[in-house]
Amino acid sequence: MKRSLYLAGILILFSQLLNAQITAPQSTGSDVTQYPAFSENDDVFIFCTTDSTAEVGALTVSTALEGTKTFLWEKYNEETAIFEFFVQESSDAASHQISNLGNGCYRATVTLESTTNIYRAWVFNNWTLAEGSVASSDCESFSLAGAFRATTLTYYDLSDNTPVDLFKDVKVQWLDGSEVVSTLLNPEFFDPPAEDGNFTLRVYDKYGCEARSTVAYESLVTQASFTANPMEGEAPLIVTFTNTSRNATPGYYEWFFYRDMDEITEESQGASEPVDSILIVAYDDSPVYTYQNSGRYLVKLVAKKVTQTHTCVDTFALEKLIVVDTSSVVVPNVFTPNGDGVNDDFVIMFKSMKNIEITIVNRWGKRVHYWKSGDIQDPENARTEAVWDGNIGGQKASPGVYYYDVVGRGRDGRKQTKHGFLHLFRDK
């Protein structure tokens, strides 16, 4: 009976309700109550904190009444279901603030002579604590473990004291930098990254409150990769391999240099046993290899990350084959040793030759010039050679027709021969 009379008295005082209001400028979120039975709903102000014992709530009541007013603040006691005295002050100010508030419903009564304004609002200190860790890690995957605790925000129906929980809509994210990599609390990731890093567990709700926990991830895996330069050219071709692998253990690299792919294919046809396709295996970090013979070559790198508990391996091969040119010889049929600086020498062009010799005879079959080169090692300078300047024994050769004979061995093992007529002109 006493409680009913008390609530009836509260309802009579609502006549001047619109002349006053309660705000919370420092709050991070807000809501509105949904009382099951009470006829009026109240504002709810949320204050974020990561301390479960902190009381950081603050409310301000404002009024349009002018003059010396009494600001009476009361707090709802959910055990007794009545509002109890909290603080009171008289002031000419248009507003009054209370701070360091714990959770609960606060009622402000502003009185000026016979005019009374009443307003209410709920305050909640909304805290969340998060903790993350690396649950497992190996060569194939790793998993993260998350845990959190969050306060429950409960208000009470002011007519029958029924408790009602606010729906906070708590969600989780795992972040890699600013990128969201999972929305599960305990995710598992396959194809682990080949570098150490930090993952952050973020727990947040619809009121803008959140807690974070950062986890240090130590990668156990490696990512093999390399570049080769040049990728093509004539034999002997010197290729520099630059190791660009990530998170590998130095000294644990294996390079597999394969034989010419055409040879492997040819030998494999009809073979009853597997064909040995490996030319050599190198254990350098960044080797330099010289291809002595023409062909198309595959190179594969195996990188390892070695720890006390795991040895993780990754393999990489270039998409394109290293191409060493096949041998060839190109011989012109005209040259003009007339001193004008154009075509003054008899020049041959060749690719991937190991050795070569050239004989030039006149129309009567007498040898007038001989040139040879063996064990050619410098492909940049060996592609063209001026093999005759048009002189015989220090004297200018007579214009006319000569015959050349070219014989050589390419680095692909092929014998190269060229025969033909050569026209020597001296007129300018």
Using the 3D structure, point to which of 126, 152, 178 is the last residue of a domain.
Answer: 126
What is residue 417's predicted lDDT score, i.e. its pLDDT? 85
For 18, the domain range is 2-126
> pLDDT digits over 238-280, tens only?
999 999 999 999 999 999 999 999 889 888 887 788 888 999 9
Contact predicate 259/300, CB 8 Å: no
User: Model pTM?
Assistant: 0.70
Q: What is the pLDDT of residue 15?
A: 38
The reply to whether 309 and 246 lie within a common domain is yes
Nearest Cα neighbor of 174 from 208, 209, 128, 130 is 130
Distance CA 109, CA 72 (A): 5
Tokens of 79: 């055990």
| Chosen domain end from 98, 126, 154 | 126
The percentage of the chain sitting over the pLDDT mark of 70, rounded to a whole number, equals: 93
Q: Residues 122, 139: one domain?
A: no
Does 416 lie in the same domain as 343? yes
| pLDDT for residue 17 is more than 50 | no
Do 166 and 184 lie in a common domain? Answer: yes
Shared domain check, 414 and 336 = yes
CA distance 69 to 63: 10
Q: What average pLDDT does the chain have?
A: 90
List Cα–Cα distances, 393 to 104, 112, 170, 390, in angstroms: 117, 131, 99, 10
118-143 pLDDT, tens digit each: 999 999 999 999 999 999 999 999 99
Mean pLDDT, rounded, for 386-413:
89
Is the pLDDT at 4 greater than 50? The verdict is no
Out of 92, 126, 160, a domain closes at 126
> pLDDT, tens digit, for every residue of 181-197?
999 999 999 999 999 99
CATH number for 232: 2.60.40
Confidence bin at 165 (pLDDT 50/70/90): very high
One domain, residues 45 and 115: yes
**Both 195 and 308 in a single domain?**
no
DSSP states along 158-172: TTT--EEE-----EE
If you average pLDDT over residues 93-104, what whole number do you get? 97
Q: Are residues 103 and 147 in the same domain?
A: no
φ/ψ (deg, to 5) at 263:
-65, -40
* The pLDDT of residue 5 is above 50: no
**What's the pLDDT band for 169 if we cut at 50, 70, 90?**
very high
Distance CA 89, CA 91 (A): 7
Here the tokens at position 371 are 């040139």
In this structure, what CATH number is given to the domain that contains residue 351? 2.60.40.1220
Instruction: Kindly report the CATH number assigned to the domain that includes residue 157.
Output: 2.60.40.10
- Do 117 and 8 share a structural domain? yes
> How many domains does the chain fold into?
4
What's residue 2's pLDDT? 40
- 16 vs 10: CA distance, rounded Å: 12
Indicate whether 122 and 132 sit together in one domain.
no
**Distant-in-sequence, close-in-space partners of 116: CB < 8 Å, separation ≥ 6:** 13, 16, 109, 110
The pLDDT value given to residue 375: 67
Q: Are residues 382 and 403 in the same domain?
A: yes
Residues 48 and 117 in one domain: yes
